[in-house]
Structure 1
Amino acid sequence: MKNKDQLLAELNFKAVLSGGPGGQHANKTSTKILLEWNLSQSALFSEEEKERLQQKLKNRITKEGILQLSSDHTRSQHKNKEIVQTRFLRLLEDGLKIPRKRKKTKPSKKSKLKRLQNKKRQADKKANRKNPLL
């Protein structure tokens, strides 16, 4: 991962009312955390990386190019902030991974032989079901 501190400095956090657990506490305190990050204005990633992230996270990014995440799992604003930051960093790590190319492989001699034996066994089984008078 790139410089984590610089990346976290690009994030905007908002605390809003949460509808999660906590009863009256949740109704009168702002414990839900909204994280916003502008992908297009980020200075840490190259154009190629931005394009890859845009493609991988297209369902989570708004039309303006802003990635939004939220957390209201706990009654603590600080814990929610930590949760949303770790989710954000994991999303970026997964989005930047370049998948390995698949190497084409051929079936082994043993697997070919096994397949043919199974095929022969199945054919014999079906042949034995036929009426012998025909």
Structure 2
Amino acid sequence: MERMSGPYLIRDAVSLPESELRWRFSRASGPGGQHVNTSDTQVELLFDIAASRALPELWKERALARLAGRLTDSGTLVVRASERRSQWRNREAAVERLLGLLAEATAPPPRARRAKKPPRSLVERRLREKRRRSELKKGRTGRAQWD
């Protein structure tokens, strides 16, 4: 079995060292038979964004703003994983989720969309279609329905 240890790469050579992550384990519900009653397979991965020294300040600000709804009172991001039967695989899943959340939350904002004038061909096609519909509807008036 591979050894899962940090540092964990987020993006652009910025990585999280294992020392900034805290782990908690508890019993998980779900499949596992009698094994589930005796082993702590549910994983909680805690990462304090504000106190992190691995993240650049700009990334911290973005992450704190974008993940505000997921943070605890102290500014800690908590990721849970309990869908696997082994603690090890739940740890891997929690790390993957954390890295995905951080990569998404620290990404630069998308470029602002600049409004542009619609192309002439589009305007002409729209007006042509309006004229055609108008003529079609005009042709319906004045005609006797029952001859």
Verify same fold: TM over 0.5: yes
CA contact (8 A) 2:43 2:90 kept: yes
Q: Report the number of matched residues.
A: 132
Return the match for 2:36 from 16, 26, 29: 26
Residue 87 of structure 2 is aligned to residue 77 of structure 1 = yes
C-alpha change, 1:95 and 1:64, in structure 2 (3 Å) is same
Shift of 1:122: 1.6
Cα RMSD (Å) of the superposition?
A: 1.7
- Normalized per residue, which structure has more strand? 2
Shift of 1:5: 4.7
> Which residue identity does 1:92 align to in structure 2?
L
Counterparts of 1:1-134 in structure 2, within 5 Å, are 1=11, 2-6=13-17, 8-98=18-108, 99-131=110-142
Q: Distance in 1 between matches of 2:62 and 2:125?
A: 43
Shift of 1:97: 1.1
Q: Distance in 1 between matches of 2:72 and 2:136?
A: 60
- Output the TM-score relative to the length of structure 2: 0.81
Structure 2, unpaired ranges of 5+: 1-10
- Output the TM-score relative to the length of structure 1: 0.88
Q: Distance in 1 between matches of 2:73 and 2:141?
A: 66
**What's the secondary structure of 1:80's corresponding residue?**
helix
Q: Which runs of 4 or more aligned residues in structure 1 lie more than 6 Å from their structure 2 counterparts after TM superposition?
A: none
Question: Identity rate of aligned residues, in percent?
Answer: 31
**What's the secondary structure of 2:116's corresponding residue?**
coil
Shift of 1:95: 0.6
Q: Which moved more, 1:113-122 or 1:98-107?
A: 98-107
